[in-house]
């Protein structure tokens, strides 16, 4: 319950939730987006529980932050440059899944949520309970984000969604690199 509550409190309105909204609106494939986001978050949570504290000793946090911020900025510019292109076809579905997975994975690796999961695991000595509580919290938050994204995608033109997504990703990248997120 502690991990569940922690995730709900920290992820509500966080960059991951906002990213999920943007991905859901942009790709118009809610199940694909939710699957990619949950796979990334579950993977990051497992790493945080299992060996996260060791990896943060090997890979300095500032490098992870730099990579995460840079990925957001690069993706933002890519979206700006491709905003007028037609929607992705089924051939690009795998690329979309991979893009969502890696963006969420990189942005959450070393994030405050992963660090909190590590701390909870150490203090509660209950890795299985922490994993399931955190995963359930992520599922609820990102399920809400998917619903919001779907609603947006039905009301706004795709080119506008892509441009807004591009600007948001650039802003997220700058905020990550500046230490605000």
Using an 8 Å Cβ cutoff, are 89 and 25 in contact?
no
In b/e form, how buried is each residue of 24-34, taking b as 16+ CB within 10 angstroms? bbbbbbbebbb
**Residue 180, burial from CB neighbour count under 10 angstroms (0-12, 13-18, 19+):** exposed
Query: Which residue from 85, 118, 111 is spatially nearest to 19, judged by alpha carbons?
Result: 111
Using an 8 Å Cβ cutoff, are 159 and 83 in contact?
yes
Return the pLDDT at 142: 95
Per-residue pLDDT of the chain (181 residues; tens, 9 = 90+): 888 887 887 787 778 888 899 899 888 889 999 999 999 999 989 988 876 556 556 767 677 678 767 877 887 787 788 766 644 444 456 668 988 999 899 888 777 787 778 777 766 677 889 899 999 999 999 999 999 999 988 898 878 887 887 888 788 788 878 877 6
Rounded to 5 degrees, φ, ψ at 144 are -60, -45
How far apart, in whole angstroms, are the C-alpha atoms of residue 66 and residue 125?
A: 31
Cβ neighbours of 123 (radius 10 Å): 10
Query: Which residue from 64, 16, 7 is spatially nearest to 168, judged by alpha carbons?
Result: 16
């Amino acid at each position: 319950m502690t991990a569940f509550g922690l995730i709900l409190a920290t992820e509500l309105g966080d960059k991951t939730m906002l990213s999920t909204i943007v991905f859901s609106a942009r790709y118009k494939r809610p199940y694909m987006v939710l699957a990619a986001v949950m796979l990334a978050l579950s993977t990051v949570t497992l790493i945080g529980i299992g060996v996260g504290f060791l990896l943060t000793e090997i890979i300095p946090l500032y490098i992870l932050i730099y990579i995460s911020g840079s990925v957001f900025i690069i993706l933002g510019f890519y979206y700006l440059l491709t905003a007028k292109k037609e929607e992705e076809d089924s051939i690009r579905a795998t690329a979309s899944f991979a893009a969502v997975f890696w963006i969420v994975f990189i942005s959450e690796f070393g994030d405050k949520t992963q660090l909190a999961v590590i701390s909870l695991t150490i203090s509660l000595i209950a890795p299985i309970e922490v994993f399931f509580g955190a995963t359930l919290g992520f599922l609820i938050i990102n399920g809400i984000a998917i619903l919001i994204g779907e609603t947006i995608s039905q009301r706004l033109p795709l080119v506008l969604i892509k441009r807004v997504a591009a600007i948001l990703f650039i802003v997220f990248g700058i905020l990550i690199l500046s230490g605000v997120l």
